[in-house]
Amino acid sequence: MLKKILKILEDDARTTTEKIATMTGTKVDEVKKLIKKAEGDRIILKYKTMINWDKVGDEQIWALIEIKITPQREVGFDAVSERIYRFPHVRSAYLVSGTYDMAVLVRGSSMHEISDFVAQKLAPIEGVQGTVTHFLLKRFKEAGEILGEREGTKRQPIIL
Protein backbone atom coordinates (compact mmCIF):
# COMPACT_ATOMS: atom_id res chain seq x y z
CA MET A 1 0.00 0.00 0.00
CA LEU A 2 2.83 2.41 0.88
CA LYS A 3 4.37 1.99 -2.58
CA LYS A 4 1.08 2.98 -4.23
CA ILE A 5 0.85 6.08 -2.04
CA LEU A 6 4.46 7.01 -2.76
CA LYS A 7 3.96 6.69 -6.52
CA ILE A 8 0.90 8.95 -6.35
CA LEU A 9 2.79 11.58 -4.34
CA GLU A 10 5.82 11.32 -6.60
CA ASP A 11 3.65 12.16 -9.61
CA ASP A 12 1.83 14.99 -7.81
CA ALA A 13 2.84 16.00 -4.29
CA ARG A 14 -0.34 18.11 -3.99
CA THR A 15 -2.62 15.07 -4.11
CA THR A 16 -4.80 15.23 -1.00
CA THR A 17 -4.97 12.37 1.48
CA GLU A 18 -8.67 12.09 0.67
CA LYS A 19 -7.96 11.59 -3.04
CA ILE A 20 -5.15 9.10 -2.26
CA ALA A 21 -7.54 7.17 -0.03
CA THR A 22 -10.08 7.00 -2.86
CA MET A 23 -7.43 6.00 -5.43
CA THR A 24 -6.06 3.22 -3.22
CA GLY A 25 -9.25 2.07 -1.48
CA THR A 26 -7.72 2.90 1.90
CA LYS A 27 -9.14 4.90 4.82
CA VAL A 28 -8.00 8.53 5.05
CA ASP A 29 -6.60 8.03 8.57
CA GLU A 30 -4.50 5.08 7.36
CA VAL A 31 -3.14 7.15 4.45
CA LYS A 32 -2.24 10.01 6.82
CA LYS A 33 -0.53 7.54 9.19
CA LEU A 34 1.50 5.92 6.38
CA ILE A 35 2.58 9.30 4.99
CA LYS A 36 3.58 10.58 8.44
CA LYS A 37 5.64 7.43 9.07
CA ALA A 38 7.29 7.67 5.63
CA GLU A 39 8.24 11.29 6.43
CA GLY A 40 9.64 10.27 9.82
CA ASP A 41 11.63 7.38 8.29
CA ARG A 42 13.02 9.73 5.60
CA ILE A 43 11.38 7.72 2.83
CA ILE A 44 9.62 10.93 1.80
CA LEU A 45 12.47 13.43 1.84
CA LYS A 46 10.85 16.56 0.49
CA TYR A 47 7.79 17.92 -1.27
CA LYS A 48 8.91 19.95 -4.24
CA THR A 49 7.47 22.40 -6.72
CA MET A 50 9.06 22.24 -10.15
CA ILE A 51 9.19 25.61 -11.91
CA ASN A 52 10.04 26.40 -15.52
CA TRP A 53 12.19 29.46 -14.73
CA ASP A 54 12.69 30.19 -18.43
CA LYS A 55 9.03 31.20 -18.66
CA VAL A 56 9.45 33.59 -15.72
CA GLY A 57 12.48 35.21 -17.33
CA ASP A 58 14.86 34.30 -14.51
CA GLU A 59 17.99 33.08 -16.24
CA GLN A 60 19.68 30.21 -14.48
CA ILE A 61 22.77 28.49 -15.78
CA TRP A 62 23.08 24.75 -15.23
CA ALA A 63 26.13 22.57 -15.73
CA LEU A 64 26.87 18.89 -15.45
CA ILE A 65 30.36 18.38 -14.05
CA GLU A 66 32.19 15.07 -14.24
CA ILE A 67 34.81 14.62 -11.53
CA LYS A 68 37.73 12.20 -11.32
CA ILE A 69 38.43 11.35 -7.67
CA THR A 70 41.22 9.48 -5.89
CA PRO A 71 39.50 7.13 -3.43
CA GLN A 72 40.74 7.41 0.15
CA ARG A 73 41.79 4.50 2.32
CA GLU A 74 38.88 2.99 4.27
CA VAL A 75 36.28 5.49 3.06
CA GLY A 76 36.61 5.17 -0.71
CA PHE A 77 34.90 8.02 -2.53
CA ASP A 78 32.56 8.99 0.31
CA ALA A 79 34.69 11.59 2.13
CA VAL A 80 35.57 13.57 -1.00
CA SER A 81 32.04 13.20 -2.37
CA GLU A 82 30.59 14.61 0.85
CA ARG A 83 32.80 17.69 0.63
CA ILE A 84 31.55 18.20 -2.92
CA TYR A 85 27.82 17.63 -2.43
CA ARG A 86 27.66 19.98 0.55
CA PHE A 87 28.35 23.04 -1.63
CA PRO A 88 25.17 25.08 -2.21
CA HIS A 89 25.80 25.23 -5.98
CA VAL A 90 25.50 21.44 -6.17
CA ARG A 91 21.86 20.48 -6.78
CA SER A 92 22.42 16.74 -7.42
CA ALA A 93 25.41 14.44 -6.97
CA TYR A 94 26.00 10.88 -8.14
CA LEU A 95 28.75 8.26 -7.96
CA VAL A 96 28.99 6.93 -11.53
CA SER A 97 30.77 4.27 -13.54
CA GLY A 98 32.98 5.06 -16.49
CA THR A 99 35.89 7.43 -17.04
CA TYR A 100 34.86 9.75 -14.22
CA ASP A 101 33.82 8.80 -10.70
CA MET A 102 31.25 11.43 -9.87
CA ALA A 103 28.73 13.56 -11.74
CA VAL A 104 27.25 16.68 -10.18
CA LEU A 105 24.54 18.99 -11.45
CA VAL A 106 25.22 22.59 -10.43
CA ARG A 107 23.27 25.81 -10.78
CA GLY A 108 24.51 29.37 -10.93
CA SER A 109 23.48 32.79 -12.16
CA SER A 110 26.16 32.91 -14.87
CA MET A 111 28.74 30.77 -16.65
CA HIS A 112 31.40 32.82 -14.87
CA GLU A 113 29.93 31.92 -11.46
CA ILE A 114 29.99 28.21 -12.30
CA SER A 115 33.52 28.50 -13.71
CA ASP A 116 34.65 30.19 -10.49
CA PHE A 117 32.99 27.44 -8.46
CA VAL A 118 34.93 24.79 -10.38
CA ALA A 119 38.26 26.66 -10.25
CA GLN A 120 38.08 28.05 -6.70
CA LYS A 121 36.08 25.45 -4.76
CA LEU A 122 35.90 22.13 -6.59
CA ALA A 123 39.27 21.62 -8.30
CA PRO A 124 41.40 22.44 -5.22
CA ILE A 125 39.77 19.73 -3.05
CA GLU A 126 42.31 17.10 -2.07
CA GLY A 127 41.44 13.92 -3.94
CA VAL A 128 39.95 15.68 -6.97
CA GLN A 129 42.15 14.74 -9.94
CA GLY A 130 40.24 16.53 -12.66
CA THR A 131 36.92 17.84 -13.88
CA VAL A 132 35.02 18.25 -17.13
CA THR A 133 32.23 20.83 -17.23
CA HIS A 134 29.29 20.54 -19.62
CA PHE A 135 27.03 23.62 -19.67
CA LEU A 136 23.40 22.71 -20.29
CA LEU A 137 22.23 24.66 -23.32
CA LYS A 138 18.54 23.79 -23.24
CA ARG A 139 16.34 21.73 -20.96
CA PHE A 140 13.66 19.71 -22.71
CA LYS A 141 12.46 17.41 -19.93
CA GLU A 142 13.11 17.29 -16.21
CA ALA A 143 11.82 14.93 -13.53
CA GLY A 144 9.50 13.36 -16.09
CA GLU A 145 7.96 16.69 -17.13
CA ILE A 146 8.28 18.17 -20.61
CA LEU A 147 9.25 21.80 -20.03
CA GLY A 148 8.10 23.45 -23.21
CA GLU A 149 5.27 22.67 -25.55
CA ARG A 150 5.83 23.06 -29.25
CA GLU A 151 4.33 26.23 -30.62
CA GLY A 152 3.95 25.08 -34.19
CA THR A 153 6.54 24.98 -36.92
CA LYS A 154 9.19 27.70 -36.76
CA ARG A 155 10.81 26.83 -40.09
CA GLN A 156 10.20 28.99 -43.10
CA PRO A 157 8.23 27.29 -45.89
CA ILE A 158 10.05 26.66 -49.13
CA ILE A 159 8.41 28.51 -51.99
CA LEU A 160 9.07 27.08 -55.46
- CB–CB of 106/114 below 8 Å? yes
- 2-58 tens-digit pLDDT: 999 999 999 899 999 999 999 999 999 999 999 999 999 999 999 988 887 778 887
pLDDT of 150 reads 59
Predicted pLDDT of residue 40:
96
pLDDT digits over 43-102, tens only? Answer: 999 998 888 777 888 778 999 999 999 999 999 999 999 999 999 999 999 999 999 999
Q: Distance between CA 19 and CA 13 in Å, rounded?
A: 12
Q: Give the model's pLDDT for residue 37.
A: 95
pLDDT at 154 over 70: no
Q: Which residue has the higher pLDDT, 144 or 128?
A: 128
The pTM score is 0.78
Q: Out of 3.90.220.20, 3.30.420.40, 3.40.50.2300, 3.30.70.920, select the CATH number for domain 53-138.
A: 3.30.70.920
- Distance of alpha carbon 16 from its chain centroid, rounded? 24
Query: Do the Cβ atoms of 64 and 107 come closer than 8 Å?
Result: no
pLDDT of 115 strictly over 60: yes
Nearest to 107 by CA among 150, 82, 142: 142
Handedness of CA 96, 44, 4, 144 (dihedral sign): negative
Q: pLDDT at position 152, please? A: 54
What residue segments make up the domains of the chain, in order of their start? 2-40, 53-138
CB 132 within 8 A of CB 69: no
Taking only the tens place, the pLDDT of each residue in 127-142 is: 999 999 999 998 888 8
What's residue 108's pLDDT? 94
pLDDT at 151: 57
